[in-house]
Every structure is written in C-alpha cells, then in structure tokens.
A and B are shown apart, each in its own frame.
Chain A
Amino acid sequence: MILAIIILTPLIAATLSLLVKKRVQLLELFTLLSVATCFISSIFVVNKVISNETYSLVPYFSVNALGIILLLLISFIGLIASIYSIGYIREETKKQIIGFTRVKQYYILLNLFLMAMFFAVATTSPITTWIAIEATTLSTAFLISFYNKSSSVEAAWKYLIINSVGLLLAFFGTLLFMSSSMSISASHNLISWNDLLTNAALFNPEVAKIAFVFILIGYGTKMGLVPMHTWLPDTHSKAPVPISSLLSGVLLNISFFAILRFKIVTDTVVGASFSEGLLMYFGLISILLSSFIIYLQQNYKRLLAYSTIEHMGIIALGVGFGGAALFAALLHMIYHSLAKPLLFLSSGNIFLKYSSTKIEKIRGAFLAVPITSAIFIIGFLAITGIPPFGMFLTEFSILAVGITNHPAIAVIVLFAFVLVFVGFLKHITTMVFGDKPEEIPVGEISVWNTLPLIVLVIVLILLGFYLPEPLKILLNKATLVY
C-alpha cells in the first residue's frame, strides 16, 4: 500500500496542478505535499525492507535494499528541490522571464518526473523499468527547454535524441535478457527481475555477454558514462537548477540501478569478471576525460555537470573493482546524491544574483551571497573528496581495493582526482573571493533558496561522520546482492 502512495501521490499532484487556473501558491502546495508524503512513506518502508529483505505491493511492485535507498534519495532530494523551486521560480517570474503557464508546466512536469523515477525503482519487470526510464526522458525534455532559448532547445533536442537511441539499445538488451525466460510467458505474470535470475542457467553465455554490452551502452548513456555522455553537460547547464539537481543527484542513479540488476544476471551466467571489466573501462575513461575538462572549464554549471560524469565514473569503477569497493561505490552514490544537488542549488543562487554562468563573470560571491558561498565551498570540499567528508572515505576505499588488484588504474585515477581538486579550487576561488561588482546587491535571494541548502549541508556533514544503523544494514544487504 505504501508503495502505491509513493507512486500515485505525484500523479495526483500533477492532475490537481492541471486544474489550477491562476494561483501559483496552489501549485507549490500540491508539489510540496506530494513530495513530503513520498519522503515520509519511504521512511516507513525502510524497516519493512530491513526485516523482510524486500517490500512488495502485488507481484508488480517491490523494493529491495538498494531500491529503498533510491526511493529515499529521490523523495529527499525531490523535497529539497521542490522547496528550492518555490524561491527560484518566484524569482524568475518576478524578473518576467517566465509566466504562469510556464510555472504550471514546470510543477506538473516535476511531479510526473518524480513519479516516473519512483515507478522505475519499484517495478518488478525489466520492461516496465525501461518504460519508466523512457518516461523520465519524456517528462524532463520540456523542463530542459524550459527557458525556450535557442541553446536550451538545442540541449533538449540532443538530450531527447541521444537518450532515446541509448534507451532503444537498452530495450534491445532487455529483450535479449528476456529470451531465457520466455518459456514462462504462458503464465499471466510479467517476466520479473527474479525470473531473469531464476532462469539464468538457461541463458546462453555468449548472448548474455552481447545483451549486457547493449544494456551498459544503453543505460550507460542515461547514466552519463563516457563516451555516451555528450548530452549531459548541455542538459545540466541549460535546465533550471532544481531540475539539474534532480537529474544529477538522482536520475542517473536509476540507470545505474538498472545496470546493476542486469549485472547480477550476467555474473550468474558468465562470471563477474566480464561485467566488472567493462564497468572498470567505462568508469576509468569517464573519470579521466571529465577531470581534464573540469580543469579547463569556463562555465560553472558545466563544471558541475562534468563533475557528475566523473562521479558516475567513480561509482562504475567501484563496482568494477568489486569486493569492498562495491560497498564504497554504493555509499559514494549516496554522498554524491547529496553533494551535487547542494552545489547545483547554491550555483542557482549565484546565477540569480549575477545572471551569468561564466566563471570569469563571477567575482566576490562571498560578499554578495555569504551563506550560499560558504555552502558552495563546503560542497566543493565534499565533492572533491577532502576529509572529513564522506567522499574522502569512499574514494579512498575504492582506490585501496584498486591499488591491490589494478595498481595502474588506481594511480591514473589518483592523478585525475588531484587534477579535479586543482581545477575546482582554481574556479571556486575565482568565483567566491575578491571584490564583487558594485551593481550586485548584497544579501541572499530568499529563505526558500537558502533553507534547503542549509538542510542539505547538515545532512551531508552528518552522514560523513555518522552512518545511521538502518542505512548501514541496507548498504550491507545491497552489497551482498550485487
């Protein structure tokens, strides 16, 4: 029942928003209530998953340990982004950049986007997972072209085409995986993830390898792995920042989740080394390419987008290394889901103040928006893996496993980490310190734009020092599965 609430509430909120004629406050209220309900409901599911391994609603919906972690992340980041959206969208409306119709469209699509993500995580069928992930592409395309500028339309077109092609390849891979389970198709049930695992012994190893390659290329496109990443920097830099924070913080994890689910089937058929080798390769080139571009970047939203590619690479690499690195990779995913929205949202405040995304045009942000700038610096330290933040521990753990089994890769990655830190440091100091331009007024944008950042930074810092027992149990369970 709780899963039904989580999936249906955003749909109800979107439907109600459709009926709103004039009052923006109603749109805001529906979204906030919807996401808060989903977040609270997700918390209730945690104990059920801990005690029963999975929590199911009819045969078609079920969440396991990693599933509930993702539901918590989607709803929590969704809540933070929704609160932030209130201030952000109001500010854009005040500047007459957007009107009521756009605002209404924004909140409806935001709710549909959240629903599609909840659905993708909770469904038990690989095909409905694919449908839901495709639905995330469709619901976000108009959010990316939200400002209706040439550049945002271009970004949205790239996003639509590249992701659609990627997802069609993932669909092909999914069909190949299902070939082993078609014998049960006489029954009325859909082929589930469990069916794929149960029938893994019937799966031809060569077909399994080809199928996994298609899955990795397909969902890897959506996850932003190099070389299929080309849509990501454009999209993340052109979408409204609350949407960028959701794209970067949670959407990419869902594709990663799909890859992991197919990985365990592939591992059962051909052994773990095949999928791990591929993940290591894609992870390594993602980290390397993004680190160079981060160093040379001139646009701070694109900087954050490339940082996302780097972190997706780190997660893929961690899974590729396996063993203890897998636990670290999953924990890294959680930290990234908190740190990246923090950076995107604080960069949104900087954008609202300076009306530019170019690093060279931002000077003295610390004087203009002191709280935001302090949080931006904390976010930078967290995302580059500086102690005592959690990402230091996860990156260290991944490298520790890597140095034992794949020393050359570990050394290259270490070099990339240093490059990323130097690049970020160079850009952040340019933006935050120095004298601000006189025409830029002093003061935070609004409480709606500051409060979510404060909550997010507190959670990020706390989780760096203390991992709650339920989360630890869920992570351990997830590590055992994948």
Chain B
Amino acid sequence: MEQLIAPQFLFIAGIVVFLTVIAMHLIKKSISVVYFYVIQSSMISLLLLYSSFVRHSFFVLAVTMLITAVKIIIAPGFFLRLIKKNELKFSASSYLNMPMTLIAITIITAIARSRFFHPLTVINPTNESTLLISIAAMLISLFMIINRKGALSQMIGVLSLENSIVSFAFTAGLEQKPGLELGITFDIFVWIIIATVFVSMVYKKFKTLDVTEMSRLKG
C-alpha cells in the first residue's frame, strides 16, 4: 500500500481524533462539543494538507482548502449560529451516566483491539496501532450518536464518525482521488446544511433538542 504520510504524523492525528471523541463524551455543554469537533476536523485537514504537499498537486490542495472550509469554518459556523439563534443554552445529556459512559468507552476500545478487528491491520501493518485507534474512534463516535439525547450532539457524532473513517483511510493508505474526495466533501457539505435545517425544525416543533421528547410516532 502506498504510504504518503509519515507514520508518526498519522499516529498523532489518530490519537487526536480518538481523544477528541472521548472529550465529546465527557463534556456536558454542547458548545464545547462543537469546539472539540473543530479540533478534530483541524487534525483531519492537516492530514489532507500534508497529503496535498506530498502529492505536489494544485487540485488536491484546492480540494483540501474546500474540505477545510467546510469542516472548520462552515459547519461549526452553522452550529454556533444555531445555538445563538435559538438561544440553546442546553447541556447535551446522555442516556448513560458518566461512570457508565466511561466503562462503555473502555469496553468499546477493547473491542476495537480485539481479534475481530485485528485482521484489518494487514492493510497497512506499519501503522497497526494507529489503525486500531481509528477503529476505536469510529466505534466511540457511533456510541456517541446512540448515547447522546441532544439532536446537535447526534449530528456532531455523525460528523465525528466521518472524521474517524477519513483518519482510518489515511492510515491505511486508502486516500481517494481528489475528484472523489470533492464529491464526498460536497455530499457531507449538503448533509451538514440539511441536518442543520432539520435541527432548527426539530427545535421549532418540539421546543427542545432532546430527542427523547420526540414521541409523536407510534406503532
């Protein structure tokens, strides 16, 4: 597998993504979750930037700039405006309490290092630890979507899952062609806009972003 980025840098990036997901679980205020998402996305953007310099491609650099704009400026901007507009001084509560959440995260991390996922390290044995860290970040992001009651937190959980997958792809040497990355970024950009509109709609209809209050559907 062609490896464009130094393993040490990939390891640091993987660790940052992993730690920010855990931080998102530990932090109660949703605005802080947004800031941790910015840190996580910045790391992904740095990976992309590094990759674009190694590839010596202006197109890759342009795509990187676009992805950076979407992940670090536009998306957080949407979230912060949403919080300000609707005066959402809420805390993002979860189904499990903090000790149970930490236990669950520990178990998930152990699963990521289990025999089930270990075969994936053959894709790039040089970065074995980083690959498993990225998988752990993916699973913990997934857990965040399930565990959090706030619609905004769920949304950031989805984006964090996407960041974790991108981190895995870089670590495994599975970067896509710039054109495809552009397509994927466009897709995510549209997703962010639509999801943000929906969060607003949810707040207007239910006067809260707590998804447990959404119980109009039966059967």
Contacts and interface: CB of A to CB of B under 8 A. Distances in A.
A310 interface: no
Interface stretch (B74-82, B83-91, B167-175): B167-175
A210 interface: yes
A171 B188 CA distance: 12
Contacts of B172: 175, 179
B151 interface: yes
A135 B161 CA distance: 18
A155 B217 contact: yes
A370 B17 CA distance: 61
Interface stretch (B41-49, B96-104, B191-199): B191-199
A298 interface: yes
Secondary structure class of chain B's binding surface, majority of residues: helix
Contacts of A171: 165
Contacts of A150: 205-206, 214, 216
Contacts of A190: 177, 179-180
Contacts of A168: 158, 161-162, 165
Contacts of A145: 198, 201
A190 B162 CA distance: 21
A185 B2 contact: yes
Contacts of B174: 175, 178-179, 182
A172 B162 CA distance: 9
A172 B139 CA distance: 12
Given A131-B187, A178-B174, A154 B116 contact: no
Interface residues of A, number: 48
Interface stretch (A70-78, A156-164, A393-401): A156-164
Nearest to A161: B154
Contacts of B120: 176, 207, 210
Interface in A122-144: 125, 127-128, 131, 134-135, 138, 141-142
Contacts of B202: 153-154, 157
B214 A165 contact: no
Contacts of A127: 176, 180, 183-184
Given A131-B184, A138-B194, A302 B158 contact: no
A164 B191 contact: yes
B1 interface: yes
Contacts of A238: 217
B187 A134 contact: yes
A204 interface: yes
Interface in B138-172: 138, 142, 145, 151, 154-155, 158, 161-162, 165, 168-169, 172
B145 A151 contact: no
B122 interface: yes
Contacts of A135: 187, 190
Interface of B: 1-2, 116-117, 119-120, 122-123, 138, 142, 145, 151, 154-155, 158, 161-162, 165, 168-169, 172-174, 176-177, 179-180, 183-184, 187, 190-191, 194-195, 198, 201-202, 205-206, 211, 214-217, 219
19 contacts: A127-B183, A138-B190, A149-B216, A150-B205, A153-B202, A161-B158, A164-B195, A165-B161, A168-B158, A172-B138, A172-B165, A175-B172, A176-B123, A178-B174, A179-B1, A185-B177, A209-B119, A298-B219, A299-B219
